[in-house]
Structure 1
Amino acid sequence: MIDVVFLLLVFFMLAARFGMDVEIDLPLTAASEKPYQGPPRLVDIAPDTVRLNGAATPMDALLADLGTMMLSHDDAIILRARDGAQLQRVVSVMERLTDAGYETLVLVE
Structure 2
Amino acid sequence: MSFRFADARPRRRPSLTPMIDVVFLLLVFFMLAARFGQEGALDLSLAGGGAGAWEGPPRLVQVEEQGLRLNGVARDEQGLIQALTGLVGSETDLILIQPDEGAALQRLLDTMALLQGAGFTNLALVEP
The TM-score normalised by the length of structure 2 is 0.59
Q: Match for residue 102 of structure 2?
A: 84
Q: Which amino acid aligns with 1:48?
A: Q
RMSD: 1.3
The answer to whether 1:37 aligns with 2:37 is no
CA distance in 1, matches of 2:96, 2:61: 6
1:29-68 Cα shifts (integer Å, max 9, x gaps): xxxxxx4431100000001110000010111000000000
Aligned pair partner of 1:53 in 54, 71, 75? 71
Q: How many aligned positions are there?
A: 80
Aligned pair partner of 2:51 in 25, 40, 44? 25
Structure with greater proportional helix content: 1
Return 5+ residue gaps in structure 2 as ranges.
1-47
| Highest RCO, 1 vs 2 (Cα 8 Å, sep ≥ 6) | 2
State the identity as a percent. Answer: 36
Q: Which amino acid aligns with 1:56?
A: A
Q: Which amino acid aligns with 1:25?
A: A
Q: 1:36 to 1:108 in 2, by over 3 A?
A: closer
**Secondary structure, counterpart of 1:85 in structure 2:** coil
The TM-score normalised by the length of structure 1 is 0.69
